[in-house]
C-alpha cells in the first residue's frame, strides 16, 4: 500500500501538485476577468436579485431553483477546507497566505461564472427525465470531444470518492471520536444510513436538504467565530495588518512559528483557496446545471456568489479566528504525527535569530541540517542523546516517548531522522495545524473549552454536506458514461464506501484525490478557454434579451 501511495504521489507531483498548476488556474481566471471586463465586480449586486428569483419564469425547465442550486454547490465546497485548510495555509505560509486565498477567490468568482454558464447552456435531459449537465456536456455537444468528456466524467466519479466521500467521513469520525469519545464505526454506520436516505431521493431531495443544512451550519459556525473575534477584539486590527504587512517580504518568525517565505505564502494561499472554492475544477457546474433558469447566464450570475461566500466570507472568518486568538504561533501539547516529525543531530534553539534562521532554512529546504541516525537512549520517556525534534514545522519541546501508554525506558532505532518502530508514541509541545488548530482557536472565546465542540459540530455538518453534494456530481457523471440506469449501483457503492472509510486509512484516497482533481480541472480549463468567444456572445445575448423582457429594470451593463 505504501508503494502504491508513493507511485500515486509521483504521478500527482507532475500534475495537481506541480508548480505550474496554481498558475494555470489563476491565469485562466485572470484572463476571463479581463476578457469579460470584471464581471465578478460589475454583476455582483445584480446576482443577488437573480438568486432571489426576481426574474424567473414559471415555465423554466430544471430540477431546482437558483437558491437550491447555490446551496447544493456551496455544500460541496464549504467543507473541511474552510476549517482545516485555512489553518494549514496559515500554519505553513503565515498570515500573508490569507491574502492569496482572497485573491484566488476574487478571480475564481469569474471562473465559476464562465464554467457554470457554459455547462448550463449545453445541458441535456436524461432518460429518466432529470436534468444532466456539467463540463462533459459542453465538451461533447459544443467541442465535439467525447474522449475529453469521458476523461472528465471518469475523473469526477473517482473524485466523488476521493474528495467528497471517503476523506470527509474519515475526518468526521476522527473528530467525534477525539472530542466526544464516539466509536468511529458507529458514527460511520449512522451517517451512512442518513446519507443513503438523502441521496436516494435524487437532486430534489438533495437540494431540499442542503438548502436547510447550509444556512444552519453557517449560523453555528458564525456564532462560534464571532465569539472568538469579539473576545480578542484588541487583536483584530493587528491581525488585518499582518495579512498585508508581510506580503512582499514573507512572514517573520514569531513565537513558535519559524517564518515563511513569499513563495510559501503564495503557494499555500493559492492552493488552499482553490481547494476550498473549487473554482475551475468543474464540479459545481454540475449542480448549477440542474437549476431552472431563464437563460444560461442567469445561473452563471448566481455562481459568482459561491467563491465569495465560501472563501472571502467563511475562510476570512476562520483566518481572523486563528490570527486574533494567537494560537497559530503557539506551541501546544501534541501527539506527533510521523509524517511531520524529524530528529536532528545536535541541539538547536528558536530563541535566537541565528537558531531560528538555521531551523527555518531547514524546514523550507533551503539549507539542510544533519539528521540523526542510530539509537536514541530513552529513560522514563526522556531522550538522553544530544538531539532536537522538529514537528509541524516547529522546534518541539518537552518530548516524551511512550510505548503502550507508558513512558519508555530503552532504545529507539532512528533511520534518516525517522523512528523505525511506528507503534511508539512521541509527545511534546509543538505547533499544531489543520482542524486541531482551528478547534484550539475556538476555545479562546467566551465559550471557553466549549468552543471546540462548535468546530466538531461544524466539521460534521460541513463534511457531511460535502458528501451529499459530491454523490450528485458522481451520479451525473455515471449518467453521462453509462446511462441513468447505472446510478442506483453507484449510489450503493458510494454509501458502502462511505461507511468503510469511517474507520479505514484513507491516505491513498487523499493522494488519488489530488490526481482526479487535476484530471477534472485541466480538461475544464481547456474547454472554457476554447469557448471564450462563445461565452462572450452568450453574455451579450443575455443583456440584449434581458432589456427586451425587463425594460424598466436597471442593468449593470
pLDDT, tens digit, for every residue of 126-159? 888 888 899 999 999 999 999 999 999 999 999 8
pLDDT, tens digit, for every residue of 181-202? 889 899 999 999 999 999 988 8
> Is the CB of residue 341 less than 8 Å from the CB of residue 426?
yes
Determine how many CB atoms are found less than 10 A away from the CB of residue 62. 22
Q: What is the DSSP letter of 344?
A: E
DSSP sequence for 511-523: HHHHHHHHHHHHH
Statement to judge: residues 284 and 425 lie in one domain: no
Q: Which helix (H) or strand (E) holds 451?
A: helix 451-482
Q: What is the pLDDT of residue 497?
A: 93
Statement to judge: residues 355 and 413 lie in one domain: yes
Residue 120 clears pLDDT 70, i.e. is over it? yes
DSSP sequence for 305-337: HHHIIIIIIIIHHHHHHHHHH-GGG--EEEEPP
Statement to judge: residues 322 and 336 lie in one domain: no
Whether 456 is covered by a domain: the verdict is yes
Contacts of 345 (CB under 8 A, 6+ apart): 369, 370, 371, 372, 373, 386, 387
Q: Report the predicted TM-score, pTM, of the whole model to 2 decimal places.
A: 0.88
Statement to judge: residues 256 and 225 lie in one domain: yes
Whether 215 is covered by a domain: the verdict is yes
Whether 236 is covered by a domain: the verdict is yes
pLDDT, tens digit, for every residue of 396-442? 999 999 999 899 999 999 999 999 998 999 999 999 888 788 889 99
Statement to judge: residues 408 and 527 lie in one domain: no
Higher pLDDT, 261 or 438: 438
Tally the domains of the chain: 2
Nine-digit cell string for 164: 467528497
Whether 391 is covered by a domain: the verdict is yes
Statement to judge: residues 117 and 88 lie in one domain: yes
Range 485-489 contact pairs with CB under 8 angstroms and sequence separation of 24 or more = 485/127
Nine-digit cell string for 20: 505550474
CATH code, domain carrying 319: 1.20.1740
Listing from the earlier edge strand, what are the strands of the sheet with 406-407?
A: 332-335, 425-430, 397-403, 406-407
pLDDT, tens digit, for every residue of 77-101? 777 778 877 888 888 888 988 998 8
Q: What is the pLDDT of residue 202?
A: 80
Q: Which helix (H) or strand (E) holds 9?
A: helix 2-14
Q: What is the pLDDT of residue 209?
A: 85
Residue 2 clears pLDDT 70, i.e. is over it? no
Whether 556 is covered by a domain: the verdict is no
Whether 224 is covered by a domain: the verdict is yes
Distance of CA 70 to CAs 105, 171, 280, 284, 310, Å? 16, 24, 16, 9, 11
DSSP sequence for 41-60: HHTHHHHHHHHTTTT--TT-
Statement to judge: residues 214 and 268 lie in one domain: yes
Identify the domain containing residue 342 by its residue range: 332-430
Residue 276 clears pLDDT 80, i.e. is over it? no
Statement to judge: residues 325 and 336 lie in one domain: no
Query: End of a domain among 404, 430, 456?
Result: 430
Q: What is the mean pLDDT of the chain?
A: 89
Q: What is the pLDDT of residue 506?
A: 65
Cβ-count burial of 98 within 10 angstroms (0-12 exposed, 13-18 middle, 19+ buried)?
A: buried
Query: End of a domain among 430, 457, 479?
Result: 430
Q: Which helix (H) or strand (E) holds 414?
A: strand 410-415
Higher pLDDT, 218 or 151: 151
Q: Is the dihedral of CA 369, 375, 376, 377 positive or negative?
A: negative
Statement to judge: residues 220 and 301 lie in one domain: yes
What is the C-alpha separation between 120 and 303, in angstroms, rounded? 11
* Best-predicted range by mean pLDDT (35-39, 450-454, 463-467): 35-39
DSSP sequence for 254-295: BTTB--B-HHHHHHHHHHHHHHHH-TTTSSHHHHHTTB--SS
100-121: burial string, b at 16+ Cβ within 10 Å, e else: bbbbbbbbbbbbbbbbbbbbbb
Whether 437 is covered by a domain: the verdict is no
Higher pLDDT, 133 or 217: 133
Statement to judge: residues 270 and 306 lie in one domain: yes
Q: What is the pLDDT of residue 22?
A: 82
Q: What is the pLDDT of residue 507?
A: 66
Statement to judge: residues 259 and 405 lie in one domain: no
Q: What is the DSSP letter of 181?
A: -
Query: End of a domain among 383, 400, 430?
Result: 430
**Confidence label for 279 from pLDDT (cuts 50, 70 and 90):** confident
> Is the CB of residue 117 less than 8 Å from the CB of residue 535?
yes
What is the C-alpha separation between 346 and 402, in angstroms, rounded? 22
Nine-digit cell string for 512: 488519488
Residue 271 clears pLDDT 90, i.e. is over it? no
Whether 226 is covered by a domain: the verdict is yes
Q: What is the pLDDT of residue 131?
A: 86
Statement to judge: residues 9 and 61 lie in one domain: yes
What is the C-alpha separation between 63 and 477, in angstroms, rounded? 17
* Best-predicted range by mean pLDDT (35-39, 131-135, 252-256, 450-454): 35-39
Residue 1 clears pLDDT 70, i.e. is over it? no
Bridge partners for 428 per DSSP: 334
Distance of CA 520 to CAs 48, 157, 477, Å? 29, 10, 11
pLDDT, tens digit, for every residue of 283-342? 999 989 888 887 899 999 999 999 999 889 998 999 999 999 999 999 999 889 888 899
Nine-digit cell string for 200: 436516494
What is the C-alpha separation between 33 and 497, in angstroms, rounded? 40
What is the C-alpha separation between 119 and 134, in angstroms, rounded? 5
Backbone phi, then psi, for 57, in 5-degree steps?
A: -115, 145
Backbone phi, then psi, for 319, in 5-degree steps?
A: -60, -45
Amino acid at each position: 500500500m505504501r508503494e502504491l501511495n508513493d507511485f500515486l504521489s509521483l504521478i500527482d507531483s507532475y500534475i495537481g501538485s506541480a508548480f505550474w498548476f496554481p498558475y494555470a488556474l489563476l491565469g485562466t481566471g485572470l484572463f476571463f476577468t479581463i476578457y469579460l471586463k470584471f464581471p465578478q465586480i460589475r454583476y455582483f449586486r445584480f446576482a443577488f436579485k437573480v438568486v432571489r428569483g426576481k426574474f424567473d419564469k414559471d415555465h423554466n425547465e430544471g430540477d431546482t431553483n437558483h437558491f437550491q442550486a447555490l446551496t447544493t454547490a456551496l455544500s460541496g465546497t464549504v467543507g473541511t477546507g474552510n476549517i482545516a485548510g485555512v489553518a494549514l495555509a496559515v500554519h505553513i505560509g503565515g498570515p500573508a497566505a490569507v491574502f492569496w486565498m482572497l485573491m484566488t477567490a476574487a478571480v475564481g468568482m469569474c471562473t465559476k461564472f464562465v464554467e457554470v454558464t457554459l455547462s448550463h447552456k449545453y445541458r441535456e435531459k436524461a432518460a429518466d427525465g432529470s436534468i444532466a449537465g456539467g463540463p462533459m456536456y459542453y465538451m461533447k455537444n459544443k467541442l465535439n470531444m467525447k474522449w475529453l468528456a469521458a476523461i472528465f466524467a471518469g475523473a469526477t466519479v473517482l473524485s466523488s470518492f476521493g474528495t467528497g466521500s471517503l476523506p470527509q467521513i474519515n475526518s468526521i469520525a476522527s473528530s467525534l471520536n477525539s472530542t466526544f469519545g464516539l466509536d468511529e464505526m458507529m458514527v460511520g454506520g449512522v451517517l451512512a444510513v442518513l446519507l443513503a436516505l438523502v441521496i436516494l431521493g435524487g437532486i430534489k431531495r438533495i437540494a431540499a436538504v442542503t438548502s436547510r443544512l447550509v444556512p444552519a451550519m453557517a449560523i453555528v459556525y458564525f456564532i462560534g467565530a464571532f465569539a472568538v473575534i469579539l473576545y480578542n477584539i484588541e487583536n483584530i486590527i493587528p491581525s488585518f495588518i499582518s495579512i498585508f504587512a508581510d506580503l512582499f517580504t514573507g512572514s517573520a518568525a514569531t513565537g513558535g512559528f519559524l517564518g515563511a517565505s513569499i513563495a510559501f505564502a503564495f503557494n499555500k494561499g493559492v492552493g488552499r483557496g482553490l481547494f476550498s472554492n473549487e473554482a475551475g475544477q468543474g464540479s459545481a457546474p454540475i449542480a448549477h446545471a440542474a437549476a431552472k433558469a431563464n437563460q444560461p447566464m442567469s445561473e452563471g450570475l448566481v455562481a459568482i456568489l459561491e467563491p465569495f461566500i465560501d472563501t472571502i466570507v467563511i475562510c476570512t472568518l476562520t483566518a481572523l479566528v486563528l490570527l486574533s486568538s494567537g494560537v497559530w504561533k503557539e506551541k501546544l501539547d501534541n501527539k506527533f504525527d510521523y509524517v511531520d516529525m524529524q530528529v536532528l543531530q545536535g541541539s538547536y534553539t528558536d530563541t535566537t535569530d541565528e537558531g531560528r534562521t538555521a531551523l527555518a532554512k531547514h524546514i523550507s529546504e533551503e539549507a539542510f541540517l544533519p539528521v540523526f541516525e542510530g539509537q536514541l537512549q530513552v529513560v522514563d520517556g526522556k531522550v538522553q542523546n544530544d538531539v532536537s525534534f522538529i514537528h509541524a514545522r516547529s522546534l518541539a519541546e518537552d518530548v516524551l516517548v511512550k510505548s503502550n501508554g507508558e513512558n519508555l525506558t530503552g532504545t529507539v532505532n532512528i533511520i534518516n531522522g525517522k523512528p523505525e518502530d511506528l507503534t511508539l508514541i512521541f509527545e511534546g509541545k509543538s505547533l499544531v495545524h489543520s482542524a486541531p488548530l482551528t478547534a484550539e482557536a475556538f476555545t479562546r472565546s467566551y465559550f471557553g473549552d466549549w468552543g471546540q465542540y462548535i468546530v466538531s459540530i461544524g466539521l460534521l455538518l460541513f463534511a457531511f454536506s460535502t458528501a451529499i453534494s459530491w454523490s450528485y456530481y458522481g451520479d451525473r457523471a455515471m449518467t453521462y458514461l453509462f446511462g441513468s440506469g447505472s446510478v442506483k449501483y453507484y449510489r450503493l457503492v458510494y454509501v458502502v464506501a462511505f461507511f468503510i472509510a469511517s474507520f479505514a486509512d484513507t491516505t491513498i484516497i487523499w493522494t488519488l484525490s489530488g490526481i482526479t482533481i487535476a484530471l477534472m480541472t485541466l480538461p475544464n480549463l481547456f474547454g472554457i478557454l476554447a469557448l471564450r468567444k462563445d461565452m462572450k456572445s452568450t453574455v451579450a445575448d443575455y443583456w440584449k434579451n434581458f432589456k427586451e423582457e425587463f425594460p424598466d429594470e436597471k442593468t449593470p451593463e
